[in-house]
Amino acid sequence: MGFKDVIIIDDDETYRQVLARSFSRLDFKVEHYCSPEPALLAISASNELLVLLDLKLESDSGLRWLESIRQANVNCYVILLTGYASISTAVEAIKLGADDYLAKPVTAREILTHINQAKSGEDTPISDKPMSVDRLEWEHIQKVLNDNEGNISASARALGMHRRTLQRKLAKRPVKN
C-alpha cells in the first residue's frame, strides 16, 4: 500500500466521517476537511499520503484544487471521488493531476483494493456487455456540458434540446451501465 496518512476532503459531513472512521479502523492516521484550503498545510506535512478529494464541493470544484494539492505535496496519491461520474470529468481529473478517479459511494476497503490493483498492474476487466443507450446519453451530455464549461443553455443548444429538458436529465442520478 505505502500510505500511512489519509486526508479526506468532502463537503458531505456524514460520508466524510464514515470514511474517516473506516480508515482509522484500518490503522491509518486520518484527517478530514470540508474544503481543500485548510487541508493544504496537512497535505504538505506528510510523506506517505493518500488524498481523497470530492469533485463537487459546496460552491467549488475539486478539479480546481488539484494543482494546489500537487504543489503542496508532489508525492501524495490523489483520488478524485464523485457521485456524478462521467468519462469527460475523469479524463479532465487525470489531466489536471489526479492519480485516480472513483465513483461514490465507495468504502475504505474498496479504495484500498482499487489502489492495490492499480499498483500491481492488474488489468481492469472489460465488460462484454456494452453500455446502455441511457448510459451513453448520460456520458455524451456530460462531455458536451464539460466542453461548454458547465453552461447549460449552450450545452442544450449543442445537444439540440430544450434547456429545461437538459436540466431535468441532469437532475437525475447517472444511469448505471
Domain residue extents for the chain:
5-120, 133-171
Q: Within 13-162, where are the H helices?
A: 13-25, 40-44, 66-72, 87-95, 108-120, 133-147, 152-159
Q: Give pLDDT, residue 9.
A: 92
Per the DSSP assignment, residues forming a β-bridge with 77 are: 50
For every one of its 177 residues, what pLDDT tens digit does the chain have, with 9 covering 90 and above?
577 899 999 888 888 899 999 999 999 999 999 888 888 888 888 888 899 998 888 778 888 888 889 989 888 999 988 877 677 778 888 888 888 888 888 889 988 888 887 666 555 555 566 667 777 787 788 878 878 888 899 999 999 999 999 888 888 766 665
Question: Quick check: 77 and 53 in contact, CB under 8 A?
Answer: no
Q: Classify domain 133-171 by CATH number.
A: 1.10.10.60
Q: According to the model, what pLDDT value does residue 160 have?
A: 93
Residue 103: the pLDDT is: 83
Note the CATH number of domain 5-120.
3.40.50.2300
Distant-in-sequence, close-in-space partners of 46: CB < 8 Å, separation ≥ 6:
4, 5, 7, 73, 76
pTM over 0.85, yes/no? no
Query: Residue 43 is placed in which grid cell?
Result: 497535505
Give residue 141's pLDDT. 84
Which pLDDT does position 31 carry in this prediction? 92
- For 41-76, give the DSSP string: HHHHT-SSEEEEEESEETTEEGGGGHHHHHHH-TT-
Sequence letter at residue 149:
E
